[in-house]
Amino acid sequence: MPELPEVETIRRGLERHIVGKAIVGVELRFEKIFSGKVEDVIGAKIMSIRRFGKGLVIDLSNGFSITAHVKMTGQFVYFGEDRKNFHPNLSLPTDLPNKHTHVIFTLNSPAERHAGKPEAHPGSDPGQDRLTKGFLFYNDIRKFGWLKVVKTDEVFRQPFFKGLGPEPFSTLTLPLFKKIVLKSSLPIKILLMDQRKMSGIGNIYANDALYASRIDPRRKGNELTKLEQKVLYTAVLEVLTKGLELGGASENTYIQVDGGKGSYQDHFLVYGKNGKKCLRCGNLIERIKQGGRSTFYCPTCQS
């Protein structure tokens, strides 16, 4: 369930593992999830990785970018030349590529010409894999995610990027948050998850932020008090920060670029806890449907 913390963790992993390398090959195993031209990325060097909401942008040296959205089950995993993963405690795919691998990028490092140079501290440099060849796998069990090659200066012409609301850690200020909430008669939980109103928040963090704020997820945005608006804003940033610190929530298929897992799933406040005791009052957490999705809340604490 990649949301902002998970996607940002992926972004950081890609930044560490693939920036500086050149794309020397692309194997498309399932064409439907890929659009744009493969030729436009061949030979280009990877310059930077950006994230907007839950979307990723891999900027290349030739004026093109690979935009991507992993939706629910997409994974970017970087393996070294020996096709072994970098994470020491890897517990997920060791068999890549597997039947869920839809794209394989072969990467080559320009730094290879220095291969004969001895390392000052062999094995101790966290960026050492930048000096190796490798493979970047895009896996996606449910095939909801997509990769699209576009010109870098046209990234924001895409409907997805064009329509994104403000970012929780930068452009979504408290005054703006208050304004957005005040203007909407949507249930506050639906509002938090609306990527056009504000970006990056999905089901897990929306549930937990509302629980932390003691606000009933069914309340309308424009019916929140000024205090509740502020408390909720703070809670949103807090749960996202916590998720980020823990490397995201690996409850299902989400893994990091090096194959490691996040641990926010061990710190859920209310998400997925229906029938279990509320951490605050001990009464039972309930599950309801909002917009076709599960909402978890404590009927006693959240009013």
> In whole angstroms, how close is the CB of 278 to DNA at the nearest point?
18
Q: Which stretch binds DNA (CB under 7 A): 56-64, 233-241, 275-283, 286-294?
A: 286-294
Alpha-carbon distance of 119 to 115, in angstroms, equals 9
Is there a catalytic annotation at residue 54?
yes
Instruction: Write the CA distances from 110 to 19, 21, 50, 56, integer angstroms.
Output: 11, 7, 22, 24
Q: Is there a contact between 26 and 42 (Cβ–Cβ < 8 Å)?
A: yes
> Which x/- pattern, by CB under 7 A, does the window 106-135 give for DNA?
------------------------------
Match 């690996």 to its residue by tokens: 250
Catalytic residue, chosen from 11, 51, 54, 261, is: 54
Let me know if 142 is a catalytic residue. no
Active site residue 287: no
Q: How many Å apart are CA 203 and CA 191, to the nearest integer? A: 11
Q: State yes or no: residue 280 binds DNA (CB under 7 A).
A: no
277 CB neighbour count, 10 Å cutoff: 12
Selecting among 3, 187, 217, 273, the annotated active-site residue is 3
Should residue 10 be labelled a site residue for DNA when binding is judged by CB under 7 A? no
Nearest to 297, CA basis, from 267, 270, 266, 265 = 270
Rounded Cα gap, residues 82 and 160, in angstroms: 36
Nearer of residues 2 and 217 to DNA, judged by Cβ: 2
Is 95 a residue that touches DNA (CB under 7 A)? no
The answer to whether the beta carbons of residues 200 and 168 sit under 8 Å apart is yes
Q: How far is the CB of 231 from DNA (least distance, A)?
A: 22
Q: Kindly state whether residue 273 participates in binding DNA, applying the rule CB under 7 A.
A: no
Q: Where does this chain bind DNA (CB under 7 A)?
A: 1-3, 32, 53-55, 69, 71-73, 99-100, 141-144, 159-160, 163, 184-186, 190, 193, 195, 202-204, 271-272, 287, 291-294
